[in-house]
Structure 1
């Protein structure tokens, strides 16, 4: 079953049940919380029971062994029994800023036509590291201008599914040099920005580029002979 945060990244409230609660954290039957991955932080939220107990989800991670999504709560929080009905309320303001920054980074990879060697994001800003072709020079003002142009065009952003085999035939879609998508899978998730970009991504994104709002290029740093780090931030 596809996780709720993939089906509708704008959903903020979910009625679900506890599958288990142990020293790792809380695992639910279903969740809205995106787990840390792909440079995007894990979500924060609250878990409320019908008798008024509220647990704060401080972070969300995916268990590498079981693939379960684990909601990290305080170690001394009361343990919830299996099957306990709970209401999950997403920290929407934080998540939405992640979505805005993440989609902006996809646009950054459109503006700068070079391989991506790494990236990360917060609620305020994000960065991509680029392996630049010899002789390529980055102009901060031009990058900022082009980013804001693509944002202002309010292009639609949507999910497109493909297969690992199909993606092998389109290697140009894989922009990240440091991480290769799991090409053995029958289904791989792509994010399409209408008319300008299509690339594999497991993160959450806004529905239209206009939702990102104005951005600024904070700095461009050298991280090696050819590696340049570009940091962008939300202007508001």
Structure 2
């Protein structure tokens, strides 16, 4: 049964169904939340390759956000793919002064390696969007592009995802001011697409529930590991 509260998800569509809005909606639904979707891009992609990307007009993205808040305001926001600097700027403008917790999954490239955010978009994200978010969730390559010091100086907290790290143990590191919390799990043999979407959407749901940040991250971390285990068991 869906809860009376919702989360707002800002992301692109993925025709493979493995990531993007479709994955975010699946996660939120499983956790009992309705989703208010804001489409930033339409992508034609399979599990292996991005074939085409069409970005939404920045004004249309902003209008979708404003319309979503016109009725019952969402309890949390998850941001995924933005695409270019104009969309980043529009999203930042829409949330300036907003007190709803925002989780940013900085989608810079697809799993296939295709770039999904322009260089100007990265600069705009650092200058305009990072200061507005409660949490940013980069993987190791994304953190390197965004520059670790910028991340810690500009946003509320950083969850550095360790899936690309060496070794058999996954280490996700939450840095919230001077505090550091490490979440570990044994790396699983199968890593599906959409793990970043799944994690950030689940964290947003936890924050919408009113959980503290570290509790929301822990709950989401467990959710992702259980999801991967279920997928492996069904093969």
Report the TM range for the smaller structure's normalisation: under 0.3
Under a length normalisation based on structure 2, what TM-score does the superposition of the two structures give?
0.24
Under a length normalisation based on structure 1, what TM-score does the superposition of the two structures give?
0.24
Looking at secondary structure, tell me which structure has more strand per residue.
1
Quick check: which has more Rg, 1 or 2? 1
